[in-house]
């Protein structure tokens, strides 16, 4: 299998559609016959990232590279950035509004969940400019 590259634009104005890109990647990984644990890890991590983009950053873009050895995901947004990454990584810490919590998110588990389900996670962020999160899930 050669490397498969996918690109998604995530609409920040429609919460109901958040997760469509992650669902599409999950479907493709299933069709390619990846191990169910790998598929679940990639899907959950990407879904949390996609939700974060919609609720915190007004949308963004996601690039996914699928190879037999590793699945790489790059989530890019031009949102407000993360002021304190260490604090944002703490379970239960969230800057989400009550409105976001009423939708079932903003429990302060997004970034910790992404870390939990991936093998590598690198966050590049600048306040006022945006955030890039690079993730890797190794297949073997």
Partner 1 sequence: MTVNEIKSILAADVLCCECLLENDVLSACGSDMMSDVLAFAKEQAVLLTGLVNPQVVRTAEMMDMKCIVFVRGKHPEEDIVTLAKDRNIILLCTDLEMFTSCGLLFAHGLQGGGGKK
Residue ranges that bind partner 1, judged by CB under 8 A: 15-16, 18-19, 22-23, 26, 36, 40, 43-44, 47-48, 51, 101, 103-110, 112-113, 116-117
What are the residue ranges of helices labelled H in the chain? Answer: 20-31, 36-57, 85-88, 98-102, 110-116
Taking the least distance from each CB to partner 1, the nearer of 26 and 136 is: 26
Rg (CA), the chain: 14
CB of 47 to partner 1, least distance (A): 5
Shortest distance in whole angstroms from residue 94 CB to partner 1:
9
**Closest separation between CB of residue 43 and partner 1, Å?**
4
Distance CA 121, CA 98 (A): 28
């Amino acid at each position: 299998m050669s490397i498969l590259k996918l690109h998604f634009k995530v609409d920040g104005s429609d919460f109901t559609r958040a997760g469509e890109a992650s669902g599409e990647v999950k479907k493709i990984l299933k069709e390619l016959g990846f191990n169910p644990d790998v598929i679940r890890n990639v899907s959950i991590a990407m879904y949390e990232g996609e939700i974060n983009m919609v609720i915190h950053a007004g949308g963004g873009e996601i690039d996914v590279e699928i190879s037999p050895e590793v699945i790489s995901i790059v989530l890019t947004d031009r949102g407000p950035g993360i002021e304190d990454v260490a604090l944002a990584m703490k379970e239960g810490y969230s800057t989400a509004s009550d409105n976001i919590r009423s939708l079932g998110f903003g429990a302060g588990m997004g970034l910790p969940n992404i870390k939990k389900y991936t093998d590598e996670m690198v966050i590049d962020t600048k306040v006022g400019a945006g955030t890039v999160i690079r993730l890797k899930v190794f297949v073997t």
